[in-house]
């Protein structure tokens, strides 16, 4: 019976997985390179995970998100975060109608399937608090009424790492709500040549997935098998950030102020299942965990001043942990 269910799941993965291969090809019509970024974005779609994109200006962060929304055929809205932005500007507000003598609800741009929060770190705490409710609860309160956000609902946020003037540091509680933090670097010389070639021809992106197909794919992803030994491996990686001495990583203790939260453990398990699905498998392998680890943990790891002074990055610490913790 178990073998039959496994074969049935493998068949479902094969059938639905092919649609995501088409999705990635469609995105690649516009986006040159960044294959792993596209894959991780697809994982976010499959797991309802919000994504934080960090990169210098001009590396196509906004273009990537807009292209994904076009290829998915979902509703899309873009909010440019600025210091004078108000919570009502993103969630909506009550507007008085003099004809009916009543207040009417005017919904804000967060009422969309995909929301691009451009330069998210440029707005103050009240705006971040309003966004946090939407990200975590997937609902918005306007006046005395609470509205459920559409499904799927994903926030893709961007931030610029080289400019600090006029920016606000995101609260740790909010950063933790992002499934991944993806770092977009400069293109290679060959990739930039290809970008220049594509300037003359603007490729048309077709909608290749709809809302029902995404929800069906999510149900299949939830059934992907992950062995108990791999769950223990994920737990060991996570706990090594909290108690590095226990795992023979005494040197890391002086670099880590706070280890990652339990939300990181949940994120890795969900993301590994989605990655296995995208690879056409109905089970998780250790390489899936290694592929996911940095994107899922780098923004949740709080470093000490000593680590910052010595130019020790979260990615270096995570890589050391991955290299040290025994793989089952």
Which residue segments constitute the domains of the chain, with CATH numbers given?
A: 15-199+207-216 (3.40.50.300), 226-324 (1.10.8.80)
Continuous H helices in the chain: 2-28, 35-47, 61-72, 87-91, 125-137, 172-175, 189-197, 211-222, 228-242, 262-278, 286-297, 305-309, 314-324
Place of tokens 């993965």: 13
| pLDDT tens digits, 185-227 | 888 898 888 888 887 777 788 888 888 888 888 898 899 999 9
Mean pLDDT of the 46-67 span: 85
73 burial class (0-12, 13-18, 19+ CB within 10 angstroms)?
A: middle
Q: What are the residues whose beta carbons fall under 8 Å from the beta carbon of 170, sequence distance 6 or more?
A: 120, 121, 128, 159
Q: How confident is the model at residue 1 (pLDDT cuts 50, 70, 90)?
A: very low
CB 177 within 8 A of CB 51: no
Q: What is the pTM of this model?
A: 0.88
Cα angle, residue 297 at apex, residues 292 and 302 outer, rounded to 5°: 165
Q: How confident is the model at residue 97 (pLDDT cuts 50, 70, 90)?
A: confident
Mean pLDDT of the 87-92 span: 86
> What percentage of the chain exceeds 90 in pLDDT?
23
Q: How confident is the model at residue 239 (pLDDT cuts 50, 70, 90)?
A: very high
C-alpha 188/C-alpha 42 separation (Å) is 23
The whole-number pLDDT of residue 166 equals 62
Mean pLDDT of the 222-242 span: 93
Number of H helices and E strands in the chain, helices first, is: 13, 11
């Amino acid at each position: 019976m178990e073998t039959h269910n496994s074969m049935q799941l493998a068949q479902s993965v094969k059938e639905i997985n092919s649609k995501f291969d088409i999705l990635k090809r469609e995105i690649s019509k516009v986006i040159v390179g960044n294959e792993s970024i596209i894959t991780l974005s697809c994982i976010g779609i499959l797991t309802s995970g919000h994504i934080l994109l960090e990169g210098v200006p001009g590396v196509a962060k906004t273009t990537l998100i807009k292209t994904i929304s076009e290829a998915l055929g979902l509703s899309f809205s873009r909010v440019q975060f600025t210091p004078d932005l108000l919570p009502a500007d993103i969630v909506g507000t009550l507007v008085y109608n003099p004809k009916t003598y009543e207040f009417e609800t005017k919904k804000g741009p967060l009422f969309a399937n995909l929301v691009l929060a451009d330069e998210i770190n440029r707005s103050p705490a009240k705006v971040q608090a309003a966004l946090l409710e939407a990200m975590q609860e997937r609902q918005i309160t306007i006046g005395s009424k609470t509205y459920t956000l559409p499904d799927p609902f994903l926030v893709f946020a961007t931030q610029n790492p080289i400019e600090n003037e006029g920016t606000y540091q995101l609260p740790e509680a909010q950063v933790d709500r992002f499934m991944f933090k993806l770092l977009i670097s400069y293109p290679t010389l060959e990739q930039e040549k290809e970008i220049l070639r594509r300037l003359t021809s603007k490729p048309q992106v077709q909608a290749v997935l709809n809302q029902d197909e995404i929800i069906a794919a999510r149900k299949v992803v939830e059934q992907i098998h992950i062995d108990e030994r791999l769950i223990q491996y994920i737990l060991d990686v996570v706990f090594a950030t909290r108690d590095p001495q226990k795992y023979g990583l005494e040197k890391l203790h002086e670099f880590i102020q706070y280890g990652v939260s339990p939300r990181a453990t949940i994120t890795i398990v969900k993301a590994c299942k989605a990655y296995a699905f995208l690879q056409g498998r109905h089970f998780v392998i250790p390489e899936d965990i290694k592929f996911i680890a940095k994107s899922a943990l780098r923004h949740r790891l709080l470093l000490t001043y000593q680590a910052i002074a010595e130019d020790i990055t979260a990615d270096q610490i995570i890589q050391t942990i991955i290299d040290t913790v025994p793989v089952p």
